[in-house]
Amino acid sequence: MKYIYQLIIVALVLVSCSADKDNSLDSVLETGNLETVRQKREELVNSQQALDEKIKLLDEKIKSLDTTKQVPLITTFKANPEVFNHVLELQGNVTTKDLLTITPEYNGILTNMFVKEGQSVSKGQILAKIDDGGLSQQLAQLKIQSQLAKTTFERQKRLWDQKIGSEIQFLQAKSSYESQQESVNQLNQQIAKTTVRAPFSGTIDDVITEQGSVVIAGQTQLMRIVSLDNMYIETEVPERYVTDVVKGKNVTVNLPVLGKTIDTKVRQASDFINPANRTFKVEIEIPNKDNDVKPNLTARLKINDYTNEQALLIPQSVISENADGEQYVYVVMDKNKEGLGTAKRVIIETGRTQNDIIEVLKGLDNGAEIIKEGARSVRDGQAVEIIEYNEDEKSN
């Protein structure tokens, strides 16, 4: 207080001097002498500069004496252990293993198309028929010849069993019968190729070739069949996550077009790293009870690649970095009942981030009170005043 009184006295003296100068100024103006007026002006300018310097010194002294203005106002939060589920965000496409464009196994005219678009079919159901080009007639003739060869063989066998006839006759009859049987089987297989059957149960998505068209084996696309029962999402994951993204990991799937979110798991993780882009493929199963998930839909994926049951999480905005590249935060020490404490700088080591939250691996104790608002304006060892305290606040 003694210093403040002294400063007030100095200020009063300065004001008094200013009043005396004003009286002197009137007399100078009354002289009407230009040179005298200029000299007076110069004196006043010099006096003003000296006065500004004195006022500056007064302000600095007041600032140093008024200690209440040196305590910055801050807010804090507590770093308590909690579960941290880090997710890897990727994009994938919905697909199915039961999606096939059917082509014929036989050349000929498509004589019958037994299904239409949108029709549900069962595995093995006949979908279309191709003209066999006379194979059925050939089969009928072969069956007659095969029946004759069978009768001849059976008679020769009975005779051979009774030790009648030669062995060569028996073997020739047996060979002829077996040859006829093989020919019949081969022709049956050829004729079976003229019948197009469903390889699995599903829906005829598109009929591509019309009845009466000439089709070529392995080339002409007859129809497309799809099943929505075995849907999955395929995505490519960077190789650095090869030990984190494995079979059984939890996945949240978002289908923006459908406005649908599904919780599922990784069904399969490939062991092959693509050398072209250094990624590996992952399959994610996706239930489809309502059959609203379609092939080639775009999906946004959040794959849980890391979990810490006792993580200390803080906002990235409270972290600073020193010249050595070390990260640090300020914590409040020795806090009293009035909310006054001391800021202490703590060097930390951080781990994974999720949005604006980061995991602290080393440097912080459980329950440490960390400065949030005002963290950029405090210094190590400085007194601080807490104006707000919210234990649960981290990310806002």
Instruction: Give Cα 360 distance to the centre of its chain.
Output: 22
Q: Which of 349, 313, 307, 305 has the alpha carbon at shortest distance from 81?
A: 313
Amino acid letter, 365: D
- Beta-bridged to residue 357, according to DSSP, are 315, 354
* Three-class SS state of 77: strand
* CB proximity list for 121: less than 8 A, separation 6 or greater: 115, 127, 198, 201, 202, 203, 204, 225
Q: Which of 367, 365, 386, 364 has the alpha carbon at shortest distance from 375?
A: 386
- Beta-bridged to residue 86, according to DSSP, are 306
pLDDT digits (tens, 9 = 90+) for 167-224: 888 888 888 888 888 888 988 888 889 999 999 999 999 999 999 999 999 999 999 9
- Beta-bridged to residue 94, according to DSSP, are 233
Residue ranges of the chain whose pLDDT lies below 50? 1-3, 5, 7, 10, 12-13, 15, 17-21, 389-396
Distance CA 121, CA 28 (A): 116
pLDDT digits (tens, 9 = 90+) for 37-56: 788 788 888 888 888 888 87
